Structure 1
Amino acid sequence: MATLLIVESPAKGKTIEGYLGSGYRVSASVGHIRDLPEVGMGVSPPDFKPNYVFTERGKEVTARLKRLAAECDEVILASDLDREGESIAWHLQQVLGLKSPKRLVFNEITKKALIAALADPQSIDTKKVAAQEARRITDRLIGYKVSPLIAEYLGDRKLSAGRVQSIAVRLVDDRENEISAFNVVTHYNAEIKFGEWTATWANKALLDGQEYWTDKDFAQKVAELTNFKVISCAESETKSSPPAPFTTSTLQAAGSNALGFAPKRTMELAQKLYEQGAISYMRTDSTNLSADALEEIAQWCKANGLPVLSKPRTWDAKGGAQEAHEAVRPSHFDVTQAGEDDDQRKLYRLIWLRAVGCQLEDARFAVRTAKLEATDPVDSKTISFEARGKTLVHKGWKSLTPVDTAEDPDDAAAADAQDSDNPVPELSPGDAVQAISGKVVQTKTKPPARYTEASLVKEMEKRGIGRPSTFGAIIEEIKDRSYVEVFSKKKQLKSTPRGSRLIKALIGRFSFIEYNFTKILEEQLSGVESGKTQYVKLLTLINDRLNGEIEKFKSAQPLQFPCPKCGRGLVMNFGKKKKDPSWWSCAGYTPDDAGCDYSALDDDGKPGASSAPVLSDHNCGSCGKPLIHREKEGEGGWKFFGCSGFKDGCKQSYPDKGGEPDMASPKVKQEA
């Protein structure tokens, strides 16, 4: 009999099955098979033990895996190597009734990596599972407790709050507020042309504590200077090192800047490449490569005449980086093209270039810097100038790829071109040089730029907000919920009035909206994973603090639109289609007809008149309750009197006769 190997993805399983041969049967769980229930909290204190239910496809997948397991001698779990993957392995163990199953951990889908993993099987790391569970429950507590509260108090049923999504919205909204508050300053400089090279006025010496030179008339006088003396001319060299191999976040940035892919799209493509065995695992915060990878790079570069380093280049880990595995890289460096479609091939090429380029020599530039002086003929002030030019003398890594693809292409191109087109000649101190022309350079200070999807990913990683692997999905969610919108041709993000309103309600009231909350939480989750932090203790702390914040919010925040019937908040409901009318209902209403049933028509974004039917002066001949006059306007319209006790089971109705019920012709049921 065979051995059953269970992975997450069917495509990944197909690749692995091709490597392992006939002794193995490979099947996929297709991600999570169990999760918290969609309706209800699914977890409660004091133990915070989750009530797991099968996902939509979980039952079917479990039944299939049980049949396959019964036909095999052994079951091995080989889900992904992050916390989510560990959790999937644990759930599979539970539903399949496996006792101490083998757990395979590998960073790349290659035959070599698989054989090494099979030779050294692990067991399920239950502490890692607990860390994933703690994060999932924290998100559930925040989402399920705060979202309905915010919706009720602000009167918008679709408003929701989330641990990471709300912070992402806040970043965009805070930036918008910075832009609105920004004061533009117009300032001036002067540029002097000497043939093919130029010098710029070094005006900092005259600023006298000011940040910018704002005297245009004086700048014009400086631009009209013609006689200059060389004070110094120095030769130097600068270096440009290649960027590190991709992490999850820099891969998303490069996908956006270089290829125009949304972060979510980049991760989908990377997942496909990983499942094909083309690249290593794409969820990583490490920038370093294995010894095998470094050796492969060196061999390929030497064979192809590239200036590879004699000693491998490494990078220091960022604070908080787990570095459980390598940077994103090709599985085989002699494969320069991979992928099943154009988008996959484009992303693979970026990954290949970045990983190979990181081990090439620095690019070197020869730099010549000349300092010049002129004298102001009016008040005899000494005016200083500087001319700087650089020339690429050794391409190094730039022989493979000219710019860092994770940076904004406009910024990268500008930085690369800086001073390169200014051929400053050899000059000697004391030389007199004559200007050909001069001009005033007017500049206006610019507010901070709006975030693009790529720069938002970068900022979230910098602040330790969330996990890079989820950034793409988060950005898509806040766009879908209309908290932010794409603005301008550069695809910048701008907060909507709805998003601003949400953030204003949360700030100062809930700790999860603070920038350091998620970073601290990730440190606490790492503590759960290492055994230093207790699962129940952490969730108790989070839950108690959240409950306290909710009570303070209720006491301090007035309801936007109180229900006239019960005092709860009225919330706006939206039709399924844009053209469908909106209406208002009480937050105390539940689908099972329990609670307050008050509803109102929408009046330009505010609750209007009650939409409850008006009771007539006539009573039902069957149960005695008041009748309601019902009518439908337009073609095919109808009128009749129905019993107001229809919810209690009375189906009696009466035809309309001149605006009065025809009590002599009762009907058991009126069809619309």
Structure 2
Amino acid sequence: MKLVIVETPAQAKRLSDALGEGWRVEPCSGMVRDLPADQLGIDLAADFRPSFVVVPGKGNLIRRLMKALRDCEAVYAATPPTREGEALAWHVLALSPDMKDKSVYRVTLTALTPDAIRAAFAAPRPLDMKLIEAYAAERTFSRLVGWSINASARQALDFKTALTVDGMVALRLLAEGEAHIGAFTSETRWRASVSFMSDGIPFTANVLNAKGTALAIRTAEQVGQLEALLKGGHFWVDKTGQTLKTQPAPTPLTLHGLIEITARDLALTPEHTLALIATLYDAGWISDPDAIAPPALHEAAQAYIRREFGTEYLAAEPNITAGIAPADVSRLPEALPGDGAAVYALIWKHFIAAHMPPAQDKLMGARILVGAAKDKPYPLELRAMAALLYFDGWRRVLLSDRQDAVLPVLPQGTALLPTSITVEAATSEPPMLFSEAALIGALVECGVNVPAAVAALSGLRAAGYVDGEISLSLTEVGQTVVAYLLANFDELTAPAFAREWAADLEHIASGERQRVEVLHAFWSRFGGVLRPARAVRAAAEHKPIVLRPAEEV
């Protein structure tokens, strides 16, 4: 019997159905081990060796997994294709004393369809210890920073804090955003436009200076002078032109991109979107958000476009990057009730659109002059623009509610009569507060993965540090915590260092640097300000397991 380890019971059922007899599939239901909750769990004197212990409440699950490992002839880890996924399987295997003479294979599932499952099991690889080293470095760093700063903050602030590393970076981002808003000084300028009618077609032209740039009008006196010039002036067409503007096809949706769109268009919270993504993946409807879609899916998308729209709607070079894909392109979106159907439709449409050619708009423009007479122009010009869809391309799938506009035929020298003249004040707006999706995006730019960013935001809400539905703001307690972080751990909790640390983890994962080397460099830089409580060594020390290389199956 061959054993397969997956993450969730739903995944276990789908793999069991696909693999058939001779296979046993068991879910690990998240990490089975972690650092202890009641002590540091890091031996600083032994090259930052972590002591992982069994997660409370998982005793029965572990006994079941240990029996399965004892009875099997080989193990296949089919956990998510991430550092955490690699560690999920490693923690299970590390608990078993029966792995010495058994082969361990790692399979990367792009989706839970029969074809994807067969393809993954036909190309196994060894468990990647470099990814596990990066995971261990990340857990060590998070424990040292979180443990030390929370202990220090509780003493200084006289209340219990619940700060994670990602949560601290999020607080700093929110504080920086609020500081920018507080330092913003609004400015009022005036803008002018003139409306015309020609051949029954209305259009509006913006008033600019003679160089074709925005007017520099800041006083009421200047506004009065401009209105007088426009009301007493004569208008005529100086020249017209048109060109084609290309709108490149979108890329397949990333997890963060999907969270932004579902928040804007479907009013879904990030937590709800992540839950829907997990459900759609476990049901075999979409690819793993962290996996790269196989060539067969791209070929299926191209075949669909060729069949449904014709070869002119097939991109010569598809705009393909990493992103979420439908597991089966032939499963078309349906107009069904429920958020899951709407999310699937977004994923399917963006994936198909990424294989289509750019859309093209025909841009029409007119330059209009004004003056006391044609031979006495004012130092002003007016510009009218209109856009008309010329070739829909990818917009054939991703429809837009944009309205086309046209300009009338305007021969050079044609005199125009204004139907209205508008001069209005425009006051500059301050930067916006972070929305949930925008804050998650900022954390992703700092190297935090999307699920961790969503969890960090949820934790800040639960702790009472952040408030707001549409726009996020720091509560009074949140401001107190940020002030403490700035005063005592400024560099360590800054977004800039988060990006630096994320790059270090990638270097460990790629084998360019060693975990111990990176942790020593971090500790020599920040150990003096952290001063964690003395660690109590666990009874059973962590020892890395040695795995046999994967063999062909």
Q: Could you say if the C-alpha distance between residues 222 and 258 of structure 1 is closer, same or farther in structure 2, counting changes exceeding 3 Å?
A: farther
Structure 1 residue aligned with 2:508: 528
Match of 1:236 among 229, 240, 243: 243
- Indicate the larger mover: 226-235 or 504-513: 504-513
Q: Compute the displacement of 1:54 (Å).
A: 0.7
How is 1:20-35 mapped onto 2 (pairs within 5 angstroms)? Answer: 20-35=19-34
Query: 428-437 or 184-193, which moves further after superposition?
Result: 428-437
- Structure-to-structure mapping, 1:111-122, within 5 angstroms: 111-122=114-125
Higher helix fraction: Structure 1 or Structure 2?
2
Q: Pick one of 460, 475, 481 that aligns with 1:478.
A: 460
Render the CA deviation track for 1:275-312: whole Å, top value 9, x for unaligned.
1111111136x7xx542122101111222226532424
Q: CA deviation at 1:167?
A: 1.5
List runs of 5+ in structure 2 lacking aligned partners.
534-553
- Choose from 479, 485, 493 the match for 1:506: 485
Identical-pair percentage:
24
Give the structure 2 partner of residue 631 of structure 1.
none
2:178 maps to which of 171, 176, 179: 176
In the alignment, is the contact (CA less than 8 A) between 2:209 and 2:379 conserved in 1?
no
Which residue is 1:165 aligned to?
167
Equivalent-residue separation in structure 1 for 2:379 and 2:438 (angstroms):
43
Is the counterpart of residue 399 in structure 1 residue 396 in structure 2?
yes
The answer to whether the 8 Å contact 1:87/1:129 transfers is yes
Residue by residue over 1:406-462, the C-alpha shift from the partner in whole angstroms, topping out at 9 and shown as x without a partner, is xxxxxxx7xx45xx44x321223222222122111221110011111112222333x
Contact 2:316 2:357 in 1 (8 A): no
Change (3 A) 1:338 1:467: farther
Q: 1:212 to 1:245 in 2, by over 3 A?
A: farther
Residue 347 (structure 2) pairs with residue 351 (structure 1): yes
Q: Is the 8 A contact 2:313 2:357 kept in 1?
A: yes
Question: Residues 500 and 367 of structure 1: is their aligned pair in 2 closer, same or farther, counting only changes over 3 Å?
Answer: same
Match of 2:499 in 1: 519
Could you give the per-residue CA deviations for residues 561-591 of structure 1, whole angstroms, max 9, x where no partner exists?
Answer: xxxxxxxxxxxxxxxxxxxxxxxxxx9xxxx
Post-superposition CA distance 1:632-669 (Å, at most 9, x none): xxxxxxxxxxxxxxxxxxxxxxxxxxxxxxxxxxxxxx
What is the alpha-carbon distance in structure 2 between the residues aligned to residue 27 and residue 6 of structure 1?
5
Instruction: Return the offset for 1:81.
Output: 1.4
Q: Is the 8 A contact 2:217 2:223 kept in 1?
A: no
CA 1:310 to 1:175, structure 2 compared with 1: closer, same or farther past 3 Å? closer
Q: Give the Cα–Cα distance (whole angstroms) in 2 for the partners of residues 3 and 213 of structure 1.
A: 81
- 1:201 is matched with 207
Q: In 1, are the aligned partners of 2:169 and 2:498 still within 8 Å (CA)?
A: no
**Structure 1 residues 207 and 235, CA gap change in structure 2 (3 angstroms):** closer
Q: Distance in 2 between matches of 1:6 and 1:340?
A: 34
Q: Which residue, out of 143, 147, 151, partners 2:146?
A: 143
- On the 8 A contact 2:209/2:215 being kept in 1, the answer is no
Number of the residue aligned with 1:188: 190
Residue number in structure 2 paired with 1:91: 91
For residue 297 of structure 1, the aligned residue among 295, 301, 322 is 301
The correspondence of residues 234-273 of structure 1 with structure 2, limited to 5 A, is: 234-273=241-280
Is contact 2:190–2:424 with CA below 8 Å preserved after alignment? yes
Provide the rounded CA distance (Å) in 1 between the counterparts of 2:48 and 2:11: 34
Q: What is the CA distance between 1:365 and its match in structure 2?
A: 1.2
For 1:108 and 1:339, locate their aligned partners in 2 and report how far apart those are by CA, in whole Å: 23
- C-alpha change, 1:25 and 1:225, in structure 2 (3 Å) is farther
Secondary structure in 2 aligned to 1:224?
A: helix
Q: Is the 8 A contact 1:191 1:223 kept in 2?
A: no
Contact residue 225 and residue 438 of structure 1 kept, 8 A: no
Residues 489-537 of structure 1: CA deviation (Å, up to 9, x unaligned): xx11112122122222222642222221121111111111222212112
CA distance in 2, matches of 1:213, 1:528: 59
Q: Report the equivalent of 1:62.
A: 62
> How much has 1:123 moved relative to structure 2?
1.3
| 1:390 aligned residue | 387
Q: Which amino acid aligns with 2:67?
A: R
Give the structure, 1 or 2, with the largest relative contact order (CA under 8 Å, sep 6 or more): 2
Cα 1:69–1:536 shift into 2, 3 Å: closer
Asked whether 1:108 is paired with 2:111, we answer: yes
SS in 1 for 2:244: strand
Residue of structure 2 in register with 1:453 after alignment? 436
Q: State the alpha-carbon separation in 2 of the partners of residues 205 and 294 from structure 1.
A: 48
> Which SS does the other structure have where 1:506 is aligned?
helix
Contact 1:45 1:540 in 2 (8 A): no
Bigger shift: 507-516 or 219-228?
219-228
Give the CA deviation at 1:90.
1.1
One-letter code aligned to 2:433: R
CA distance in 1, matches of 2:49, 2:115: 40
| Correspondent of 1:152 among 155, 161, 167 | 155
Letter in 1 for 2:517: K
Q: Provide the aligned C-alpha RMSD in A.
A: 2.7
TM-score, scaled relative to structure 1: 0.73
| Aligned partners of 2:240 and 2:410 also within 8 Å | yes
Counterpart residue type for residue 87 of structure 1: A
Contact 1:3 1:23 in 2 (8 A): yes
User: Aligned residue for 2:9?
Assistant: 10
The alignment of Structure 1 onto Structure 2 pairs a total of residues equal to 520
Distance 1:203-1:152 versus aligned 2 partners, 3 A rule? farther
Q: Name 1:610's counterpart in structure 2.
A: none
Give the Cα separation in 2 of the matches to 1:126 and 1:82. Answer: 12
1:469 Cα deviation from its structure 2 partner:
3.2
Q: Specify the code of the residue in structure 1 equivalent to 2:159.
A: D
**Deviates further, 219-228 or 353-362:** 219-228
Q: Does 1:313 align with 2:292?
A: no
Structure 2 counterpart of 1:127? 130
Pairwise CA distance, 1:254: 1.8
Cα deviation per residue 1:381-408 (whole Å; 9 max; x = unaligned)? 32211000111122222121225xxxxx
Structure 2 vs 1, CA of residues 330 and 520 (structure 1 numbering), >3 Å: closer, same or farther?
same
CA shift digits 1:239-260 (9 cap, x unpaired)? 2222110112112212212221
Distance 1:205 1:14, change over 3 A: same
1:546 aligns to 2:526 (yes or no): yes
- Per the TM alignment, residue 341 of structure 1 is displaced from its structure 2 partner at its CA by 8.2
Give the match's secondary structure for 2:285. coil
Q: Separation in 1 of the partners of 2:215 and 2:413?
A: 31
Between the aligned partners of 2:229 and 2:30, the Cα distance in structure 1 is 68
State the distance in 1 between where 2:384 and 2:240 align. 9
TM-aligned CA distance change 1:447 to 1:268, over 3 Å: same
Cα gap change, 1:228 to 1:94, in 2 (>3 Å) = same
Classify 1:160/1:30 alpha carbon distance in 2 versus 1 (closer, same or farther; 3 Å). Answer: closer
